[in-house]
Each structure stands twice: as C-alpha cells, then as structure tokens.
A and B are shown apart, each in its own frame.
Chain A
C-alpha cells in the first residue's frame, strides 16, 4: 500500500527535477560529476523497483529473472544510492530550509497565468495519492473494501471466501495432496518420530485461532482456523522444549516450499497445523490436507500442503 502511494510521489519528484537533467555544463568539477552520475542508478532503480513491485501484485512477470531475489538485492542498491544522494544534498537542503522564503510560496496570479502553482502541484500529488490509495487499500483495509475497484484482490473472493496466492495446480501438488496415503511426519531431533494420518490429526485435541493471511503483495484477509497445535505435536514426539522446526510442504520446487519456526513461534498457542477454515475442511488451494497458520508471519511463510515437521535443536 505504501509502495502504491509512493508511485505518484516519485513521478512528481522526477517531474520537478527533470529540467536539471539538461543543466549545462553537466558538471563543474569531479565531485559534482560523481554526484550526478549516481542520479542515473537512483532514478532507474527507484522506477523499476516500484514498477516491478506493482507488476508483482498482479503476478505479472514480463522478465526472465526471479522477481523476489532481484527485488531484494535491487532494494539494497536503491537504498545505497539514496543514501549517497541524501549525503550529496544534505547541506543544500539544510541551507534551503533555514532560509526564510522571500515571497509567499503561493501566488495565485502566477498560477492563473502559467498553470499549476507550487501549491496546486502539491494538491495534485495529494489527490493522486488519495485516488490510487482509495481504489486499492480495500484489499487489506476492510472499511474501504467497496471502493477497492482497482485492487488486484478482494479480501472475500476466493475458495471459502479467502484469496489464494499459489494454487494447488500452480504448486504441482494436485496428486500428492489428495493421495490417500498422505501422512504427516514429525521427525528429526525427537524421541518418538510420528507418522500421522488425517484421521490421527483430527483425533488430537483441536484448537481454533482467528488469524489473517497477510500477503507481502498487499492484501490480507482473516479467517477462523481449526487444527492441532504445533506445540502439542512436538510434545507428543518428545522434542526438546527449545526446539526449532522446519515445516516442509509437498511442493517439489519454489523458494517457499518450506519455512522455519523458531522456538517462540513453535511454542505459541495460536501456531496451528490447520485442518479447517471457518468450520470446513481446507480447500485444496488453501493447503489441504493441512497448512501452517501462525500470528505475525507473512503469507508466504504459512506453508501449505504440509508433509513434515522437521525438528532441530
């Protein structure tokens, strides 16, 4: 959401400094030349990080590289050149902010003659940010749900009233998730490795938790989940109290086919291997036979189609 709102601001900022691109001579000394040379990667990275992030929210990947990995490293590069730019402009900005304005920033006669005044420009930017925010924020902020006509998600559209990011078909688990021989393995650093069928899991004490799926792509939606506490399974298997857990999915590829639970997550009351969503068995696209659900974790770390809990100490 903050990413979407910052796009109009970036465009406005670049538009106001665009004439400086044609300053002549391009630089008067080496320091100024090096400062200006860093502006190209700054602008290019800022534009592309925001554009590719926006495209990612619609799962549109017109390039060959892996989005997540490249976006991460590109982010480091962007913050780096931003630091350099701030350092270069620091004294100039301080001086400008200290100097009182010689005349009011707004003068309506000028505005009327030449077009948008400075204040008009700021109002325009504010209106643009407001427009793109109002039409998308409802995918995570329920009160604005009805206005979210341009959001890539609606928080209540999807199987069982909840959006899906990766489908069972997309994850390649259509067969394995429905296989009658499916069992959950609790293994690794445990006294008694467990192998549990879906019926075995249902026979264990069930707990409910009201938790959201919060996707890093900007949508979120809540549901009541029912299932077995991870803590109970660890106890049953005789894992050490401080154990950490790797949750493995049936997925055979993809960077999010497993996730890690540190001790705090593993021991939390609301960390469940969920079997139900709002009282119904999980839809295949929500991770049938069972999925991880826990508070304060991005959606990609709520592993679906779980096949094993691998315990580490």
Chain B
C-alpha cells in the first residue's frame, strides 16, 4: 500500500510471476475443465451467476455500506471513542452476517431435529449484546486512559 516516492512502481514480473501463472493457470484450467465436464451436476450457467453475484454483492453493496457506517462514526462519534466503536461494530457486523444462514434456517427439516437445534435469533441477540458490552467497556476504559495521559509528545514512547 505504501508505494514510497521515487520507487519504481510495483509490477508483477520475473520468475515468481511466470511460475505462478504456469502452476496456477494449470490448476485453474483443471478446475474449469472439471466444472464444464460435469455440467449436468454443476450447471455452469447457474454457478457463474452465483459467483458473479457474490462479487457484485460484496463490491457494490457490502463494502460501500461498511464504508458509509465507518464514515458516519468518524463524523459523529467523539474522537476518543471512534476506534473502539468502529471495532465493536465491525465484530458485531461480521458475527451477524455469518449468522444469516443459521437464523434463516432454510435447511431445517421436520424429520431431522439434530439439524439447527437452537433458537438462533435469540442466541444471536445474546452474542451481539455480549460483544457490545465488552466493546463498550474496552472503548470507555481506553478513552479514560488516554484522557489521563498528557496530550503533547507522549513521553517515554518516542525513543527506544
């Protein structure tokens, strides 16, 4: 990310690029061949739709939404609480996002009580509450510590 001034721009080249292209290209081609060869099971048109959908959903919806929330926190929250709040919200977001399949429980079957046996909506609420509580404690204690510390050049940290 740090493209330092005056340095030549980073570009792929040399033997790692060629070897990666050779080995990786072969594996990719093998996978693609397998996918197309088993078309009755893999239904490539449907599969490709889901693959492209994942990319679009992530790049055009999920990340912009996360950036928006992050920007709102940066604008609205007091600076001492900002990073703690962002971290707490990020963890909550990831847990909630990953719980969508269990909360929806679309795979539940009447004859298999061992699959998805819990009340996941309630459990998710509890887990999120615990994360929020923990995040709040951490955020406030950090802010309190920072507040006690002298503002200007932090002593004892600059040189060692």
* A, B co-complexed: yes
Chain A residues with a Cβ under 8 A of chain B = 4, 7-8, 11, 14-16, 18, 21, 28-29, 31-32, 35, 40-41, 43-45, 47-48, 51-52, 54-55, 57-66, 69-70, 72-92, 95-96, 108, 111-117, 120-121, 123-124, 127-128, 131-132, 135, 149-154, 157-159, 162-165, 167, 169-170, 285
Which of B14, B26, B83 is within 8 Å of A117, CB to CB?
B83
B17 near A31: Cβ-Cβ < 8 Å: yes
A154 near B31: Cβ-Cβ < 8 Å: no
A86 near B50: Cβ-Cβ < 8 Å: no
Bitwise, B94-131 to A at CB < 8 A (1) or not (0) is 11001101101111010111111110100110110001
Chain A residue nearest to B9 (CB atoms) is A28
Residue among A7, A59, A62, A153 with the most chain B CB within 10 A? A59
Residues of A within 8 A of B50 (CB): 48, 52, 63
In the complex, B55 has a CB within 8 A of chain A:
yes
Chain A residue nearest to B122 (CB atoms) is A149
CB distance from A228 to the nearest CB of B (A): 26
In the complex, B43 has a CB within 8 A of chain A:
yes
B101 near A55: Cβ-Cβ < 8 Å: yes
Which of B17, B28, B63, B94 is within 8 Å of A7, CB to CB?
B94
Chain A residue nearest to B134 (CB atoms) is A127
Bitwise, B36-75 to A at CB < 8 A (1) or not (0) is 0010011100110011101100110001001100100110
Interface size class of B (residues with CB under 8 A): 35 or more
A149 near B101: Cβ-Cβ < 8 Å: no
Which of B10, B19, B63, B80 is within 8 Å of A18, CB to CB?
B63
Chain A residue nearest to B79 (CB atoms) is A112
Complex: how many Å from CA A76 to CA B12? 23
B95 near A167: Cβ-Cβ < 8 Å: no
B30 near A131: Cβ-Cβ < 8 Å: no
Taking A87-B16, A127-B87 as contacts, is the C-beta distance between A115 and B55 under 8 angstroms?
no
B20 near A164: Cβ-Cβ < 8 Å: no
Mostly, the B contact residues are helix
A81 near B42: Cβ-Cβ < 8 Å: no
CB distance from B61 to the nearest CB of A (A): 12
Chain A residue nearest to B80 (CB atoms) is A112
Complex: how many Å from CA A74 to CA B47? 10
B54 near A48: Cβ-Cβ < 8 Å: yes
Mostly, the A contact residues are helix
Residues of A within 8 A of B31 (CB): 73-80
Residues of A within 8 A of B18 (CB): 87
Complex: how many Å from CA A86 to CA B112? 43
CB distance from B55 to the nearest CB of A (A): 4
Chain A residue nearest to B39 (CB atoms) is A65
Complex: how many Å from CA A96 to CA B47? 37
B54 near A47: Cβ-Cβ < 8 Å: yes
In the complex, B148 has a CB within 8 A of chain A:
no
Residues of B within 8 A of A55 (CB): 101, 107
A153 near B98: Cβ-Cβ < 8 Å: no
B38 near A90: Cβ-Cβ < 8 Å: no
Complex: how many Å from CA A59 to CA B117? 13
A150 near B14: Cβ-Cβ < 8 Å: no
Residues of B within 8 A of A62 (CB): 106
B24 near A81: Cβ-Cβ < 8 Å: yes
9 cross-chain pairs, A with B, having the tightest CB-CB distances, nearest first: A87-B20, A80-B28, A83-B24, A76-B31, A158-B114, A90-B16, A59-B107, A80-B27, A77-B31
In the complex, B144 has a CB within 8 A of chain A:
no
Residues of A within 8 A of B32 (CB): 73, 77
B54 near A51: Cβ-Cβ < 8 Å: yes
A72 near B34: Cβ-Cβ < 8 Å: yes
A128 near B90: Cβ-Cβ < 8 Å: yes
CB distance from A227 to the nearest CB of B (A): 22
CB distance from A189 to the nearest CB of B (A): 31
Residues of B within 8 A of A21 (CB): 59
Taking A64-B46, A87-B12, A167-B112 as contacts, is the C-beta distance between A154 and B117 under 8 angstroms?
yes
Residues of B within 8 A of A14 (CB): 58, 63
Chain A residue nearest to B38 (CB atoms) is A69
A131 near B42: Cβ-Cβ < 8 Å: no
Taking A47-B55, A150-B102, A153-B114 as contacts, is the C-beta distance between A83 and B91 under 8 angstroms?
no
Given contacts A65-B41, A115-B70, 4 further A-B contacts (CB under 8 A): A31-B17, A79-B27, A83-B24, A164-B112
A73 near B35: Cβ-Cβ < 8 Å: yes
| 28 pairs from A and B in contact (CB 8 Å cutoff) | A7-B94, A47-B58, A55-B107, A58-B107, A58-B116, A59-B109, A60-B104, A60-B106, A65-B41, A65-B42, A70-B41, A72-B34, A74-B35, A77-B35, A80-B23, A91-B13, A96-B2, A108-B146, A116-B86, A116-B87, A127-B87, A127-B91, A128-B95, A131-B94, A132-B94, A135-B127, A149-B120, A157-B114
